[in-house]
Amino acid sequence: SKRSMEQLDDMNDTGPFRLMGGPDSSRSGDDADDPRVVVQRVLYKKTKRGSVARLVRERYLRSGIVSEVGQRLLELLTFDTPTQHFLLPDSEVAEYFLDLFEFGQAIGNVVWLDTVQEEVQNVASQRTWSRLRAIVNDPLRRNLVLANERFEDTYVSRNAAESISARNDRALCVAAQWVQNTLNTLWDDNVAQFAAATPTAAAVTSTDAVATANQSGKGKSRGKKKARAAAKNKNAQTTADSAATAVTTTAETTASTTTSAPKLIVVTVSDGLRAQVEALGLRVMRPEQYISEYFVGRDSQQLVELSDSLSHLYAVHLKQRNETEGTAKRRKNKVQGLDFEEYHPDDVLIAEYKSGAVLRGVMHVNVHRPNEAYLRIGEADGAAFATDILILGSERRNRAIHGDTVAVEVLPEALWEAPSDSLRQDEENPSKEATAKVNAKKMVSGKVVGIFQRNWRPYVVTLQKEDEPGQQQQQAVLCVPMDRRIPKIRIHTRQANLMYDKRLVVAVDDWDIDSFYPHGHYLQQLGEAGNLETETRALLIEHEISVLPFAERILESLPRMSAVKTWTLPPDEIARRRDIRTSHRVYSIDPKGCQDIDDALSVSFLPEGNIEVGVHIADVTYFVAHESLLDLEARSRSTTVYLADRRADMLPAVLSEQLCSLRGGVERPAMSVFWTFDSNYNITKVWYGRTVIKSVHEMYYEQAQAIMDKATPSAERTPDHDLLYKELTTLHAISNAVNSKRSGKGALVLASTETRFELNDDKSPAKLLVKKELPVHGLVAEFMILANQYVAEKIYSAFPSSALLRHHPYPRAKSFESLIRCAETKGFSIDTSSNRALAQSLDLAVVPSDPNVNILLRQLATSAMSEAVYFSTGSCGVDEFFHYGLALDKYTHFTSPIRRYADVIVHRQLLRAIEKPKGAELYNNEKISEIASHINKKHRASKFAQKESAELFQAFYFKTAQCQEEDAIVYRLRANGFLAFIPKYGVKGPVYLRDKGGTIIVPPKAFPKQIHDILYEEDKQEMTLLTDSQDKPFVLHLFDHVTVRIWVDDSNSYHPANLMFDLVRIKSTSSSSSARSAPKAARINLTAEVLRQKAEQEEEDAAMAASRKLNMEIAKRLTLQTRMDRLSVEEEKECRLYAQSEPEDSFYNALTHHAAPNYTLTPEDEAAIHQQIQQSSQQHLPQLHTKAEKEEEAASSDESSNEAKSDNTNTRKTGAGRAPSGGGQGRGGKGGARGSSGGGRGGGRGGGRGGDG
């Protein structure tokens, strides 16, 4: 609950940073005299020792700030459009209606008083105070910050027995009167000059008159024309459009309305303050009244709806403030069946945290299973456990929301639970998700007992559908957030019937102990759910990424796009730089169509035999001055966000695409690093500095690779093609040498799938392309890494306590568990003790017949990595500077300043390091740490936004594409299905084997036998399919290949469409137990089996393909027979002994793998085999015989025939047979022949591929 103002009398008098006024402001002009000191209050406070201390709080007042205020008011009067009124909100409006002022820059010319800011700081939450500070201190907003508490004309002393809130109301009235008087004076003194500067000002719409004209509704078209004329006079087309729209939707005013000074409107929800303001003759309005009068029309509808929502929220707040708490709420809580607990008091939480009774950290909700949340030990202070803390269920979560900093109490071990091992299926009720936990291990579990900090943000939601929505009346509705980790949110609205199937933005206000859901309010509407543009806007808002156009005040400092072609670097600036325009051949290599080219390369062959390589980076800091408006905006954005169909630039296009971009054939300023390499590619010299370059080529990756491969078509060859080939191959050789040195230290080669899209004219995806890794990619990347490494060393040597570096920490050991288990299923051991050991393990984990295994293992290693972060070198020890993935001691980002603000900081630090002017340090440790924290947050948001954009476009692509069946690889098993990876498209998705109710849904074509149960063994990473057959059960392993059908699930309108896979067939089980087990027979007759295989192949494949596979099988059988004929009796006995020691292996399998491979075939053998292939083709496979069997063949022929008939009958009953080891990829038939000794496993698992030969 909030503290009353009367309880805050003894709080320190601290106010926000002021744009004007304050005791630290420089004084000149009418304020050159010394400020007078006013003793505001004497306080008596009891100390810890029991004595009484007398405290005197002094307030310093300035005697004159009229000139500063007048200057700012004149700026506002002439900024963008002539302004007809100013707003002065009180503290309650600033606290409860702050969203109105955050709504873009729709509401401007706001006067923010010290009184209001201090009251909000004292009574509102820290989050609200931070939001207000961001608005007040935003230089791009039309604000006037009035330090009324430090100005003698507006300062108000508190009377005896007067409450603080009453005193603040009086202070607001005095300040309002003073502002209005100042406006009147300025108007009278400058009206003639103002009218001369804007001749049509008399015809421009006055917003006061607009409010009056709304009631009369006259003169629309005439006002529209006048507004356009005024805007044309100011040469601002955007202003003309907005002014014309305002007049169209409101009505015009008369010319006489601009003859009086603009009015100040006090905005308040207090009836008492309203009466005081009206007594002064000033205008006063409620927030919703102001919005309804001054913002009318289609374009303002969202602002009106927002105002309505906030008004209801404030009414609810007033009602709750008047209600008693305690027993009534607890009784209500019990009736509703909730079990939320009261949070521990703040002072108790702090004591518990210090004593170790509770853990503190950020709560993370599992996006795949929202019923599970975790407190990550790496982020939890005071952790005493080796694993994360599981917070299972909404009751234990206790009203905490994903991202909140919480206090968690560890539960007794008897209450620990295990997380679910199933794929998510229940979208609408994640808390009721079935949690099949077969052999799952219990985790340390806990519950939330308090909140240290709420980290709420705006959430994109969709209204939960109701049968009968209300009509134009306030009603409570539930919203389902697009982020599955966020609980449903209850809001009140009058427009519910118009909001269904729309994407909305809401804010969370509170979560009462007696409520299932948090309460919030409506902010804005984005559009129809399922629309591509709407979904893209939604994901940008979800990740708090700004896509607003750059303000005109920022663009005014830059050259116009029309003047870019004629722009040149001034001669005096060229003289200060190293000019390499003609001495060095510079060229860029980027993705095709790239506009923001921020890096280029050069190579020079020196006379003494050495090689000079240069990396040249766009000199963004030449255009972006330190602490300028552009610099502050770039810092706020921090990074360029690349989505599937667009990008959100960090810098305006005139810089990112033109003046900073290192385009071919134009002169550009650059920051360069040169290395001199000797003949062994060792670095002997390094140079840093500012340069002037002129790129000779603007190449794309495929073009450069073609030159390196000598594959450039003759028509596309340039005159310097041969020289380019020499330079690129030299760069490639040097980059390989540099990479080898890093790899020797443990640099990792990880894998991730990058996709891009070719778009139709309507921006919908037309084609999905997977990036192919080329050698030239590694060439460019290696030199960028080298530049970043050397610049990091340089700036650290100059600024050891404030250099901006990049740290990649050690991965958490728990993160490698999935990688280690997956590798073990293929017989590989992954050593994660160091980056070098991990790199070597991954290099060895190769299956020659299936390269996707190594790719998937590297992807799992990538997902196990910790996140790399920026940091200040003064905030941690040298031993924490390292970069784990690149195996470097120091690393930073220098090579992409057009799209990363961190690089801009590093450029400035590098310049200071090499120029060493006085006062060289631009940033101290605290400032760098603050900037690094902000950049890390923005980079994380950018990464997730790009990922979700790619997934969104993948869904839209496959939604319009025809139903496709593709090869997929199993890379993760779950109790109710598995996750599969499709290499062709680089996409992943779930394959369900059970539905929500637990019923098995394996299609008959995928597995011909009826499955009655599925067993999942997490430790072994195996999934066993049990059938009614007596044969050995079928086992599905990691990395098995399956065929899946891709489809898009868009049935849930609450969330974007997502890719789904349906199982079509299991193609191979390379490591299943049946593949490892072969027939235990002394004689194998496979004729009938192969004929059945051939018949099944002909049903699915072309006849020629089937014949080719059959001939290959015949060749293998004859090759094996020829080798076995050469075995001696002793070797045969050795094979039989080997077979007995390996019960699951067969005698002939022993022959194949133990002895027979030692014998090579002669040319005569090969010729004989070829002849027999021609004779046996499409008939049957030759039977395999040992010497002993050949002698017994005549005597046992009748017995063998009868046995084969009997076994054929048996296998037709039990299902599909499997070809033995060595049989290639033949598909198992519906019945398998058994050998004379009864060793063949012909039944088994239908539908699977043949043996692993």
Q: What angle do CA 178, 179, 181 make, to 5 degrees?
A: 65
CA atoms of 87 and 172, how far apart (whole Å): 12
Handedness of CA 1150, 1155, 1160, 1166 (dihedral sign): negative
Q: Identify any residues that bridge with 616 across adjacent strands, giving them in sequence order.
A: 600, 672
d(C-alpha 5, C-alpha 420), whole Å: 49
pLDDT tier at 55, thresholds 50, 70, 90: confident
pLDDT tens readout for residues 803-853:
999 999 999 888 898 899 889 888 899 999 898 999 989 988 998 888 889
859-910 per-position pLDDT tens digit: 999 989 999 999 999 999 998 999 999 999 999 999 999 999 999 999 999 9
How far, in Å, CA of 1020 to CA of 1017, rounded? 6
The SS3 of residue 555 is helix
Output the pLDDT for position 1099: 58
pLDDT at 431: 47
User: How is residue 588 written in tokens?
Assistant: 């860029």
Work out the number of other CB atoms within 10 angstroms of the CB of residue 176: 27
State the pLDDT at residue 390.
94
Is residue 525 classed as helix, strand or coil in its secondary structure? strand
Q: Which residues make beta-bridge pairs with 62?
A: 151
Mean pLDDT of 1007-1013: 79
Q: Which of 482, 455, 620 is nearest to 538 (CA)?
A: 482
Please state, in angstroms and rounded to a whole number, the distance separating the CA atoms of residues 782 and 797: 23
- Mean pLDDT, to the nearest integer, of 682-708? 95
Answer for the pair 162, 129: CB distance below 8 angstroms, yes or no: no
For 651-694, how does the pLDDT look when each residue is reduced to its tens digit (9 = 90+)?
A: 999 999 999 999 999 999 999 999 999 999 999 999 999 999 99
* CA atoms of 1230 and 1213, how far apart (whole Å): 9
One-letter amino acid of 825: T
Query: Coil, strand or helix: which one is 507?
Result: strand
The string over 41-66, giving b where at least 16 C-beta atoms fall within 10 Å of a residue's C-beta and e elsewhere, is eeeeeeeeeeeeeeeeeebebbebbb
The token pair that represents 809 in the structure block:
């920490």
Which pLDDT band, with edges at 50, 70 and 90, does 1101 fall under? low
Please, which pLDDT band fits residue 215 given cuts at 50, 70 and 90? very low
The four Cα atoms 1185, 1189, 1192, 1196 give a dihedral, to 10 degrees, of: -70
Is pLDDT of 955 > 80?
Answer: yes
What's the average model confidence in pLDDT over 768-796? 94
pLDDT greater at residue 109 or residue 1108: 109
Supply the pLDDT for residue 1129. Answer: 63
623 has a pLDDT exceeding 70: yes
3-class secondary structure, 1083: coil
Q: What is the pLDDT, as a whole number, of residue 613?
A: 97
pLDDT value, residue 795: 95
Q: Worst-scoring range by mean pLDDT, 153-157, 573-577, 1133-1137? A: 1133-1137
Residue 396 confidence (pLDDT): 93
Q: List the alpha helices (DSSP H) in 337-398.
A: 346-355, 394-397
Rounded to whole angstroms, the Cα distance separating 20 from 143 reads: 12
- 398-428 pLDDT, tens per residue? 999 999 999 999 999 999 998 887 777 655 5
Phi, psi torsion values for 1066, nearest 5 degrees? -95, 115
Q: Chain-wide mean pLDDT for the chain?
A: 77
Calpha distance 120→129 (Å, rounded): 6
Residue 1085 has what pLDDT? 36
- Joined together, the tokens standing for residue 357 give 């009774």
Helices then strands, each counted (H, E), the chain: 36, 37
Contact of 640 with 899, CB cutoff 8 Å? yes
pLDDT of residue 16: 32
Helix (H) or strand (E) holding 648: strand 647-648
SS (H, E, C) 818-856: HHHHHHHHCCCCCCCCCHHHHHHHHHHCCCCCCCHHHHH
pLDDT recorded at residue 110: 92
Taking a C-beta distance cutoff of 8 angstroms, is the pair 45, 52 a contact? yes
Q: How far is CA 87 from the centre of its chain?
A: 38
Q: Is the pLDDT of residue 573 over 80?
A: yes
The number of residues making up the chain comes to 1253
Using only the alpha carbons of the chain, give its radius of gyration.
38
What is the DSSP-derived secondary structure letter of residue 756?
E
217-226, 554-563, 738-747, 839-848: the lowest-pLDDT one: 217-226
For residues 1105-1132, give the mean pLDDT.
Answer: 58
In the prediction, which pLDDT does 304 show?
Answer: 83
For position 72, what pLDDT does the model report? 79
CA distances (Å), origin 285, targets 135, 154, 269, 290, 953: 21, 22, 8, 6, 47
- Residue that is written with structure tokens 């209204």 in the block: 463
User: How is residue 1144 annotated by DSSP?
Assistant: T
Q: What's the mean pLDDT in 368-389? A: 71
pLDDT of residue 141: 85
Between 1076 and 682, the higher pLDDT residue = 682
User: What is residue 582's predicted lDDT score, i.e. its pLDDT?
Assistant: 93
Distances (CA, A) of 1143 to 1071, 1091, 1138: 17, 29, 9
Average pLDDT over residues 921-947: 93
**Given a cut of 90, is residue 236 above it in pLDDT?**
no
Q: Which helix (H) or strand (E) holds 1042?
A: strand 1041-1049
What pLDDT shows up at residue 490? Answer: 93
